Amino acid sequence: MFKGTLKMQLAKVIGTVVATQKDSSLEGYKILMIQPLTDELKPSGKAIAAIDSVHAGPNDLVYWVTAREATLVMTDSFSPVDAAITGIVDDVNKIDLGIEDKDKIFD
Q: Is residue 46 part of a domain?
A: yes
Helix, strand or coil for residue 77? coil
Contact 31, 52 (CB under 8 A): yes
Q: Is residue 2 part of a domain?
A: no
Q: Is residue 83 part of a domain?
A: yes
- Exposure pattern of 81-100 as b/e (b: 16+ CB <10 Å)? bebbbbbbbeebeeeeeeee
Q: Is residue 4 part of a domain?
A: no
Q: Is residue 86 part of a domain?
A: yes
Q: Is the pTM of this model over 0.85?
A: no
Report the distance separating Cα 56 and Cα 61, nearest Å.
Answer: 9
Question: For 1-58, what is each residue's pLDDT tens digit?
Answer: 344 444 679 999 999 999 889 899 888 899 999 999 988 889 999 999 999 999 999 9
Q: Is residue 1 part of a domain?
A: no
CATH assignment of the domain containing 45: 2.40.50.220
Question: Quick check: 70 pLDDT over 80?
Answer: yes
Total number of domains constituting the chain: 1
Report the distance separating Cα 105 and Cα 67, nearest Å.
Answer: 28
Supply the range of the domain harboring residue 71.
9-105
Report the distance separating Cα 91 and Cα 39, nearest Å.
Answer: 14
Amino acid at 32: L
Q: Is residue 56 part of a domain?
A: yes
Q: Is residue 3 part of a domain?
A: no
List all residues 6 or more positions away from 78 whose beta carbon is below 8 Å from its beta carbon.
Answer: 25, 71
